Structure 1
Amino acid sequence: MTEKRDYYEVLGVSKNSSDGDIRKAFRSLARKFHPDKNPNDSEAEKKFKEVQEAYAILSNPEERRKYDTFGHSGHGSSPFGPGGFQGVNISLDDLFGGGFDGIFNQFFGSSRRRSSKGDDLIYRHTVPFQVAMDGSEEEIEIQALRNCIECDGSGSNSPDKVKICPACDGRGRVERLERLGPFTQRAVSDCPSCEGRGKIIPDPCNSCGGQGMSQQSKKVKFTVPPGISSGVRLRMRGHGGASRSENGAPGDLYIEIEMHRHPWFERDSSDLLMGLPVGFSDLALGSKIELSHIDGKPLVVNISAGSQPGDTIEIKGRGLPIQGSSRRGSVMVVLKLDIPKKLSRDQKKTISSISDILGSNLDNVEERIREEASRRRG
């Protein structure tokens, strides 16, 4: 039998921690290991229940006092009854929203019922790199749960025969009292008689099988703002799946943006980086090079005489828009020496003549190495 971990260790707090510290630690860990954030992860589910159990004891002054005095053995059998601690249903809305009181209600017996929200959906959408400069209006087609078209959401081929479920009085949920240590709580679950629908459907719809809902196509328009990056998720409230509860809100749609690569620009936040191959004469004598640019205006690169391979030229204000600002990043141009792999006889003769005039770079090579290192280090 696996030995129980210390409850303070489970929550990552000390024995002198205040109630507020314990509550804060519980919320943080419950968010991290919540089953909705870790689907099909048995280890996360195990840790989530362990965190719940630790909090159930340490958040109760009397139970905490017993635990501090006697440890796990102080309770004899489990404080949660013969079945042990089974966990309570804590939604992400409780943890991320302002519903922390709802967690206490589940522990200590509130009969207030939440309407369940529809499923959130995630779709990936690819846009051209140009969108990072200009932004765009986009449209995607999604599949989402909606009221069945054939039965108009009634779930039946004969809507007039649909009856209110007598077991749950049309609520779709039933309550039962459960013992939780020294406390009693009301546990709410789907009604087994009507499978949570609140209705008895004698003639189920041929299209949706009595569910009253079906997967349907829907086109959604949305705006991609300038300066957006790959991996950013845009949230479209209420465009997710419909709720299976009568008064539940629909879920949200998350659109994850993927961006095509640019032919020569790489991106660093709002800055654009590029390598520019140039010849020896461009570096030695200086040069002015004009390129097309994604903002529609020519990009002029001024190369100073005596520039070195690897030097970076910053062109401010010509990068991508900085979100939340009217400013733009920079274009960073890295100079690359482009040496021909094949030379004609005349080219070789000309270069040899220049070399005789300038002298070999191998003369005083160690001194040149020191100068280069000093220049790099600033």
Structure 2
Amino acid sequence: MAVIDYYEILGISKKATANEIKKAYRKLARKYHPDLNPNNKEAEQKFKRINEANEVLSNPENRKKYDEYGEHWQHAEDYEKAKQQQKQYTKQQGSQGSSRRYTDEEFSDLFGSMFGGGSSRTHGGQVKFRGQDFNAELQLDLKDVYTAHKRTLTVNNKNIRITIPAGIENGQVIKIKGHGGKGVNGGPNGDLYIAFSIRNTSSFKRNGQDLYAAVDLDLYTALLGGEITVHTFDGKVKLTVKPETKNGTKVKLKGKGFPKYKKEGQFGDLYITYNIKTPTKLTAKEKELFTELSKLR
């Protein structure tokens, strides 16, 4: 099995900062994301390796273990325990007159073979290890997470059908249990962690479950009142405007915001801000009427 060099995968040096790791990962993840490279097996493999590298190097503790133990970083504690047991064993054997002692290098090779799927045993049984966790980023549009929907992801050459709950937020991470790396010697699989990157191409601003929008209001409706039609995220509604409405007035449309995460049927609110538009290109008659109105005031 070829040695995995996570630094090389991300194209960074071993002295790279956390910010440099983050930038390198995001750049490569976007380039090789399966959504942008449909039916491209090579891109899928690269995307998988990029996520594995980021999982290790973006975590300071994991990175330290990787720098010391390489691809077996997840088993650092077990390695040290086993190494200590080996030293105690050889010490005991030496006190009994045995001439066979394993060197650190020999023991490292023996222990490493177990990680590769060998049948090394400790105290009469195989040591089981949990598989590695995987990280992935999924890019969606805001409209995609307004309703719950299913989506198929390709992870480690396997298609996974998941349900994306309505109301999920930008940067939120969900765990898909058992879809990470395969366990060693019958150990449990790792988990898959999916981070959501949500683009907002709508005219609404989102803050949690609440939405915000600006609506232009003509001067006459603002002064005299009336009824207007406004857009919500899922359609149009009619709204009554009170007479003498001021510029910048805010109104709340209860329950017309974004769905609340994992709370079916519950929504935030939509806040509308009125921007009163001053009429331009007035006719001579309009100017005359406004002049008369100004004299009355």
> The TM-score by the shorter chain falls in which range?
0.5 to 0.7
Question: Does structure 2 conserve the Cα–Cα contact (< 8 Å) formed by 1:283 and 1:308?
Answer: yes
Gap change, CA 1:253 and 1:324, over 3 Å in 2 = closer
CA contact (8 A) 2:219 2:279 kept: no
Deviation track 1:308-356 (CA, whole Å, cap 9, x = no partner) reads 1111111112222223433221111111112246545554444333323
Counterpart secondary structure, 1:272: strand
* Distance across 2 between alignment mates of 1:313 and 1:112: 69
Separation (CA, whole Å) in 2 of partners of 1:40 and 1:345: 76
Q: Give the letter aligned to residue 272 of structure 1.
A: L
User: Which of 59, 68, 85 is the equivalent residue of 1:37?
Assistant: 59
The reply on whether 1:253 has 2:192 as its aligned counterpart is yes
Tell me if structure 2 keeps the 8 A contact 1:131–1:224.
no
How far has the Cα of 1:128 moved from its partner?
2.8
Cα distance in structure 1, aligned partners of 2:230 and 2:58? 50
Aligned to 2:38: none
Q: Using a 3 Å threshold, how does the CA distance of structure 1 residues 321 and 235 change in structure 2: closer, same or farther?
A: same
Give the corresponding residue for 1:229. 169
Q: Do 2:258 and 2:267's aligned partners in 1 also have CA atoms closer than 8 Å?
A: yes
Counting only pairs closer than 5 Å after superposition, residues 122-161 of structure 1 correspond to structure 2 as 122-142=135-155, 144=156
Which runs of 5 or more residues in structure 2 are unaligned?
A: 1-55, 68-122
Q: TM-score, with normalisation over the residues of structure 2?
A: 0.54
1:36 positional shift: 8.3
Aligned to 2:22: none
Superimposed CA distance per residue, residues 339-378 of structure 1 (whole angstroms, 9 cap, x where no aligned partner): 2465455544443333233x2xxxxxxxxxxxxxxxxxxx
What is the aligned partner in structure 2 of residue 218 from structure 1? 158
The residue that corresponds to 1:352 in the other structure is 291
- Aligned counterparts, 1:18-33, within 5 A: none
Is 2:249 aligned against 1:311? yes
TM-score (norm 1): 0.43
SS in 2 for 1:313: strand
| Pair 289,114 (structure 1): closer, same or farther in 2 beyond 3 Å | farther
Q: State the match for 1:197 in structure 2.
A: none
Q: Note the C-alpha offset of 1:37.
A: 3.5
Letter in 1 for 2:242: S
CA contact (8 A) 1:272 1:330 kept: yes
Are positions 1:117 and 2:139 aligned together? no
Deviation at residue 118 of structure 1 after TM alignment: 1.8
SS at match of 1:281: helix
CA separation of 1:279 and 1:233: change in aligned 2, threshold 3 A: same
What is the aligned length? Answer: 184
- Which structure has more RCO (C-alpha within 8 Å, separation ≥ 6)? 1
Higher helix share: 2
User: Per-residue displacement from partner, 1:179-220 (whole Å, max 9, x unpaired)?
Assistant: xxxxxxxxxxxxxxxxxxxxxxxxxxxxxxxxxxxxxx2222
Q: Would you say 1:268 and 2:207 are equivalent positions?
A: yes
- Structure 1 or 2, whichever has the larger Rg, is 1
Q: Does 1:322 align with 2:260?
A: yes
Alpha carbons of structure 1 residues 39 and 343: separation in structure 2 relative to 1, 3 Å: farther
CA distance in 2, matches of 1:270, 1:340: 35
Compared CA separation, residues 356 and 249, structure 1 to 2 (3 A): same
Distance 1:35 1:129 in 2: 30
- How far apart, in 1, do the equivalents of 2:165 and 2:200 lie? 18
Name the structure 1 match of 2:220.
Answer: 281
Mark the CA change 1:356 to 1:237 in structure 2 (over 3 Å): closer, same or farther.
same
| % identity of equivalent residues | 21
Give secondary structure in 1 for the equivalent of 2:232: coil
The amino acid of 1:234's aligned partner reads: I
Report how far residue 39 of structure 1 moved.
5.0
1: distance between equivalents of 2:229 and 2:127? 63
CA deviation after TM superposition for structure 1 residue 262, in Å: 4.1
- Find the aligned partners of 1:305 and 1:270 in 2 and give their Cα distance: 30
1:9 matched to which residue of 2?
Answer: none
User: Quick one: which amino acid aligns to residue 310 of structure 1?
Assistant: G
SS in 2 for 1:130: helix
Find the aligned partners of 1:40 and 1:340 in 2 and give their Cα distance: 63
Please tell me the residue identity of whatever aligns with 1:239.
Answer: H
Q: Secondary structure, in 3 states, of the residue corresponding to 1:127? A: strand
